[in-house]
Amino acid sequence: MENNQRLVENPFAALFPSLSEAQQFSSEKHIEKGNTERSPTEGQSVEIKLEINKLIEDIFLLTLDKDYDDGKKGCTHLKELAEILSDQTWLDMENLSQAVFERLMIESPEEFLVPSTSSNLTANEPLVLNYLSQCYDRLINIQLNSQKEELKPCLKECKNVIILNTKTCLLQTELFPSQNLYQQFIDLYLLESGAIFGDDNSNITEYFLQVLQSIIDDRDCNIDDVTYPIFDLIKDKFTKMVLVSADKTQYIHLCKFFTKLPALALSFMKYNSPKDWKSGKSYETTLLGSMLSLTCIPKNEAGPYDFFNDPSSYRKHIHDNTESNIWAELVTLNEKIHLLVYSLIKVSADIKHLVLKWIGKCLEANQGRTKIWSNQMPQLFNQLYSSEGFCLNLNYLLLKLCQPFCEPMSVKLLKIQCNYVKATSSDENDIKTRGIHSGGLKEETCLIPVKEGEDINIDNTETYNFITECFFMAQQCTNLGFHTVHTKFTKLNQDLHRVQRLYQDVRPQAASEDVEPIRSIKAQMEKGMTLFLSMKAALTIPQLLEMSLNLHIATATWLSQMAIDDGVSEMQQVKLPLPQHVPHSLKLIPEFVMGNLNDFILFLHRFQDELFEYAGEKVKYFMTLILVFMGNPERMNNPHLRAELADTLSSLMPPDPNSKSGGGGLFHREKLFSEHELIDHLADKLLHVFVSIEMTGQSVEFEQKFNYRRPMYIVLEYIWNIDVHKQAIKELSDYAERNIEYPEAPLFLRFINLLINDAIFLLDEALSYMMQIKEKQQEKERGDWENLESRQRQQTEQNFQLLGNIARYHNVMANYTIHSLELLTREIKSIFCNNTMVDRIAAMLNYFLVHLVGPKQKNFNVKDKNDYEFKPQQIVSDICKIYLNLGENDDFCMAVSNDGRSYSTELFPKTIQVLQKIGTDPVVISDFLGLDDKIRGMQEKTQAEDDLVEEAPEEFLDPILGSLMKDPVLLPTSNTIVDRAVISRHILSDQSDPFNRAPLTMDMVVPQTDLKLKIEEWRKSKLS
């Protein structure tokens, strides 16, 4: 009776036609114990069987009962299965697989919904993958809440059925021609996994992993058959995205899902193999490449331009807001890509190898981005190599991987193996086991070039660690990424300034902005500004700059250690001078490592100067690097790189309080130039690199040479006001004067000789250009240009602008050079008045003064002097100060008076008039009057010397200058006799015999004592 009562009260009894049938079903015997394989439902009581039916209904929302009516949920009526099973109205484990399969094959499940009035839309789910995932969710929930042990085998079987059917669906998608199961996979993961929040602790993740693992475990299946179509859809999605696409991070998170199993990660990396491993552009078309290609920089000049359109119409704060938004998007993108790549690397050694192989070959294939011609042929460049945005994003990734070892004094830095640069591999397995993934490094020029035929002794069995690979890949990527983009950015900035000046010149002549050529010029200007702002935003991401700064500080530390000795095992204090032995390691470090550092500091100085103060005391490692390498050609052969270190040095100077950037961020950089432990050597290194540009024996163009020297002048002026440096320069001067005739001319003597050479060349050229500008301006005022054809007139305008640019450049450099001479002669005087120098500096001062204050000054009276940086008043003032600085020396005053080419008694009175006109300090004018009187007093003696020259025998005259010799010497290579002072001055600039170009130094000349006595006796007799 009790059992019958329980059946009456059991809701599942309603599934049977009558209570008697339910009783019969309940009284069935268990199967024989001898059976080893048992169905989860075999031998169960009717209550359990009814519960199993209920379980299947709750999980799969299926029923065999056409009259099913729960009232709370709906189910899909399986009509065909119900007909096969005849009068059975319950589901069990034996028919579960068939039931689920029939449900999956129903295209319109809503037509079979029972009861038809049910509002449960999940039972109507038409998408098979969605349906199965929902079944899995319901099963997990039931598992969490079920306490019945007898149901656990059934739950396990239900899960197996779900996994098996999902596997079948993904492998045999042709069963569902109207559905895209791979898109369903993606949509489900994005919706259910928490990808939008970067979280994947959900049922869907575990569900998909079990499905894919079952495919992996099946030897008859290939996981690529499932993953590749999914990857195709993801890649297609990325190629249609822009930087601000909201779902980009979710899709990267989806890709990260495939790092959870080694087989999935392997499939992902195989899919990312480019079509052509040697084509830089091919990497952009991979799935990883499509992520890395999201950027704010247009891929080519044609666009599309996603940001900063019509820039002149918006104020700066609008552009600043846009830039900040771009930064946020790029950081989010790159941080997600880093998590993806880092997860891949952590999967296994095999996957790590494939990731590093992809990056290394990508860098090698894009090496051509650094070639000089890349700027001249942009269309070809864009076809061959990856885009700017791609390379900057890859740069971000590699910088991120480097951060764990970027502390400046970290011992991890000493794990970097220089031999990596020249390492070679025999095959793919060798690359993997030895860790040699970066390609293209072997051809790079190193800090010390390897001589032809020299053996660098690289161990072909050496293995390389992850730190080494990350370091050199990051440096290689910085060279073809950040450095190359910065170079193009700088050129774009120059072109933009040129177009803006052209617009300003042409605009007043046009009736409106809607006529040519104004319209075209303005369009070009707007387009250039849009590109400029886009590139600037990509280059100035705060996190990118911070990571780059960390890497370059660490690099500076490492390079300084490498310069000490080979095999450094712990960080050492750098001491100067360095050991005489040059470490072998420097033959293995590419020049671009130093070039990257120089380039970055210059960029940072211009756009994010405050970051130097963020680095705090760490900036001292930059100073150490500069002092180690700038004046040391033995450790860094390239004079251009050493000269660039001077530019780097000027970028580390504290900002001028009077500049637009203000005087913030002074503390650490002021200390840098006064308290650094090696700072005593700065003056010597600065003068050394100044001289070495001229004395390298390599071809250095004039403009390039002066570009290098410009920051040196800036640094010189700054350190002159710091006592330790001023004293060091004075000591160099004293040493030079004591050893002025040494075979190898002292450093300071060579320095001031070049300084005078530069001043003569630059100021002479500048005045010549100003004269040409004056002539062109007069032509324009007369209307000569109006008579030209439109194209010819435009060409004339452009030529005039070019002339102005050249004049501006020479004026700027001339101003620096003259001012440096004035600076030095304030406290260093005697060496300038030495026989070797005094005539040259006096003649130079006279020559330029007569041009600037004499009748010729009207030739330089151009309009808009400031536009050309032409500052005649400043130059006159500096020249006059040099006269006064040296005026106490009688030899200097005599040299001024002896200059028959430019000096006359009228020169100084005219100069005084100009000084009065420009408001010079009366004390200076008074001192100049006194100097004029002194030099006039020497005029009679000067005239007597001139008369002597006219009467002197030919053998007493110097064959170069025609002056009366004071100390004749014989040049052994040409057997010519010249005056010692003349040949000494010549050898400072050119160590060769001026008569036959044979090598010559001062220790080779032979004094002509007898001739010297004859000249002195003849001179005395004539003067008496």
Q: Could you tell me what percent of the chain has a pLDDT over 90?
A: 62
Query: Would you state the structure tokens that stand for residue 315, as one six-digit string?
Result: 């104020």
pLDDT of residue 695 exceeding 60, the answer is no
User: What gap in Å lies between CA 218 and CA 456, rounded to an integer?
Assistant: 51
Q: Which position has the token pair 């990571």?
A: 547
Q: Say which residue, 201 or 896, is predicted with more confidence.
A: 896
pLDDT exceeds 50 at position 12:
no
Mean pLDDT, range 450-467, rounded to an integer: 86
| Token pair in block for residue 721 | 């006001």
Q: Which domains does the chain have, with CATH numbers?
A: 2-26+40-175 (no CATH), 281-560 (no CATH), 563-721 (no CATH), 777-951 (no CATH), 954-1023 (3.30.40.10)
Which has the higher per-residue pLDDT, 920 or 13?
A: 920
Structure tokens at 736: 């030079």
Residue 281's pLDDT is 95
**C-alpha–C-alpha distance, residues 96 and 82, integer Å:** 12
- pLDDT tens across 907-932, in order? 999 999 999 998 999 999 999 999 99
Pairing of strands 1006-1007, 968-971: antiparallel
How high is the pLDDT of residue 199?
A: 59
CA 508 to chain centre: 40
How are strands ordered across the β-sheet holding 968-971?
A: 976-979, 968-971, 1006-1007
Task: Tell me the C-alpha distance between 314 and 948, whole Å.
Answer: 75
Question: pLDDT band for position 31 (50/70/90)?
Answer: very low
pLDDT by residue (tens digit) across 577-633? Answer: 999 999 999 999 999 999 999 999 999 999 999 899 888 899 999 999 999 999 999
Question: CA-CA distance, 663 to 837, in Å (whole number)?
Answer: 40
Interval 473-482 mean pLDDT: 97
- Amino acid 821: pLDDT: 96
Predicted TM-score (pTM) of this structure: 0.86
Q: What is the pLDDT of residue 662?
A: 47
Q: What is the mean pLDDT of the chain?
A: 88
Rounded-to-10 torsion of CA 274, 275, 280, 284: -60
The end-to-end CA distance of the chain, in Å, is 160
Question: What's the pLDDT at 956?
Answer: 87
Inform me whether the pLDDT recorded for 264 exceeds 60. yes
Q: To 10 degrees, what angle do helices 872-886 and 790-825 make? A: 20
Residue 40 has pLDDT above 60, yes or no: no
294 close to 238: Cβ distance less than 8 angstroms: yes
- In this structure, the chain runs to a length of 1024
Tokens of 939: 């005029």
